[in-house]
Amino acid sequence: MNARGSTIIVAGLLGCMACSAEQSSPNLLFIVVDSLRADRLEAYGYHRPTPAISSLAKDGVLFEESYSSAPWTLPAVATLFTGLAPTRHAATNTDALMSEELETLAERLLSKGYSTSGIVSNRIIGKKTRFNQGFERFDQELARGHRFISSQLITQLAIRELAVLARDPNEKPFFLFVHYFDPHYEYRNHEQIDYAGDSFGRLKGDEKIGQLRGMLADLNESELDFIRDRYDEEILFTDSAIGRLLDRLDRLELTENTLVVFTADHGEEFRDHGWLGHTQSLYRELVRVPLILRGPGVAQKLRLADPVSAVDLAPTLLELLGFREGLGDGSSLAPLLRGEALPARPVFCEVDYLGVDEGRPGLRTCHKKSVVGERYQLVRDDQSGVVELFEYRLDPAQAFDLSEEQPEEVRRLTSLLDKHLAQLALGAREMERTQFDEAELSELRELGYVDSEDDEDH
């Protein structure tokens, strides 16, 4: 072989590193827990233990101020999958689809030579809404509604999938997406965890979310504590399921070459701002989510304080896996994960939800926008015109609206928000909607997703 020939071969190999997966490319295990607010985790300062997630945080990087793009499942997970803000992916209503014109993280990784598998436990991010795009194998069998306890079974499925992926004769790297649902209401009693009993006061423990919302103004603090304790039980139960999955990753000797990302689609409200559940506002309890990464290219024992957005996650993961081209609206946070600095950027959240029946108490049409800066979060209700400003680190409960005291800050953040929205509007997409046939409606009703009596959100 002459000198010129070897130069060409070397150049070819280097070029290929950025275009397709090598045998040594890291695997990606992407874990999303439904409805998990960050402040209920030990790693985020909560008084109750969540040992698996704490241990993951010790071995990796934790983002203290990570924000979902939206306060409910469909738009939030669509952002995680595409790196696009809700206005741009347009999966923003109960009957909306994730358009097939969009490129997803799974599609990108599949095209780069990855094996791709998805396991979900909420039907709203299933095949019907096209969230299976790019997954060679996609399992939604455990999406059985609010009352079904699924975390340990989700872990079993994920472990089975890991075993198959680890035995791949072509030794392709894998992308495994695992979605847990138990911390989503309704909250079940876990007898092995003693935070809450079967029932308390007027609460029998089996109330549907619609019933609880009906008595929301009337619930006393102890009854609300019972609901919160039930939520915490679901979180600890899910933590132990995640712990089993991460243990298996270890036992299969995959930990070293697997990038693990752990996050939530959105948080949850317990009358913090007058509501129970999620979907209807953009306050901290709904949009601040945990975000922890561990693995190749990620520093250890690092906590980062600057606000970051869910739109940044897909490009970050792609860079950490060795690909130069990003995905969606955000930009890679990989330098931060290596321990380097990046200039802080504002983070944006939105909700444009169309209520089904405005006459009933429950889920109403809402159009709200928010921007989170280094110190303040501004929340704007585009229907009422009300603007609120919170100094979120000093006032994490967001009880004190500072908009009157800080008009300059309101003007500054409003201008950032309007500029961002004008930019999004240029690339806005028409919503594609699905139709449920009678059989599907009946199945959804059975599962608790469509209910003529209760307002259910996702």
User: Is the CB of 285 or the CB of 388 nearer to Zn ion?
Assistant: 285
- Least gap, CB of 77 to Zn ion (angstroms): 7
Give the closest residue to 172 by CA, choosing from 16, 26, 18, 320. Answer: 26
DSSP calls for 270-287 = ESTTS-EESSS--SHHHH
User: Is the CB of 184 or the CB of 380 nearer to Zn ion?
Assistant: 184
| Residues 254-273 contacting Zn ion, CB under 5 A | 265
| Token pair listed for 432 | 């594609």
- Least gap, CB of 292 to Zn ion (angstroms): 18
34: contact with Zn ion by CB under 5 A: yes
- Least gap, CB of 279 to Zn ion (angstroms): 9
- Least gap, CB of 236 to Zn ion (angstroms): 19
Residue nearest to Zn ion (CB): 73
- Least gap, CB of 209 to Zn ion (angstroms): 13
User: Is the CB of 73 or the CB of 140 nearer to Zn ion?
Assistant: 73
| Token pair listed for 179 | 């979605």
CA-CA distance, 44 to 40, in Å (whole number)?
7
Q: Which residues pair with 264 in a beta bridge?
A: 33
DSSP calls for 201-227 = TTB-S---HHHHHHTGGG--HHHHHHH
- Least gap, CB of 121 to Zn ion (angstroms): 10
- Least gap, CB of 45 to Zn ion (angstroms): 23
User: Is the CB of 150 or the CB of 332 nearer to Zn ion?
Assistant: 150
Number of residues that bind Zn ion (CB under 5 A): 3
Say how far residue 271 (Cα) sits from the centre of its chain: 21
281: contact with Zn ion by CB under 5 A: no
User: Is the CB of 310 or the CB of 413 nearer to Zn ion?
Assistant: 310
User: Is the CB of 70 or the CB of 196 nearer to Zn ion?
Assistant: 70
User: Is the CB of 319 or the CB of 456 nearer to Zn ion?
Assistant: 456
Torsion sign, CA atoms 59, 63, 69, 73 = positive
155: contact with Zn ion by CB under 5 A: no
User: Is the CB of 265 or the CB of 312 nearer to Zn ion?
Assistant: 265
CA-CA distance, 231 to 325, in Å (whole number)?
39
Q: How far apart are the first and last CA of the chain?
A: 62
CA-CA distance, 46 to 43, in Å (whole number)?
7
Helix (H) or strand (E) holding 262: strand 258-264
Q: What is the CA radius of gyration of the chain?
A: 22
How many other CB atoms sit within 10 Å of the CB of residue 19? 13
Instruction: Please check whether residue 159 is in contact with residue 244, taking contact to mean a CB–CB distance below 8 angstroms.
Output: yes
Find the length of the chain: 458
Q: Which residues pair with 388 in a beta bridge?
A: 379
The pattern of x and - marking residues 296 through 335 that bind Zn ion according to CB under 5 A reads: ----------------------------------------
User: Is the CB of 34 or the CB of 352 nearer to Zn ion?
Assistant: 34
Q: Which residues pair with 299 in a beta bridge?
A: none
- Least gap, CB of 124 to Zn ion (angstroms): 8
- Least gap, CB of 32 to Zn ion (angstroms): 9
Stretch that binds Zn ion, among 29-37, 134-142, 310-318, 330-338 (CB under 5 A): 29-37
- Beta-strand ranges (E) seen in 40-114 are 61-67
The pattern of x and - marking residues 55 through 84 that bind Zn ion according to CB under 5 A reads: ------------------x-----------
- Name the residues that contact Zn ion, by CB under 5 A: 34, 73, 265
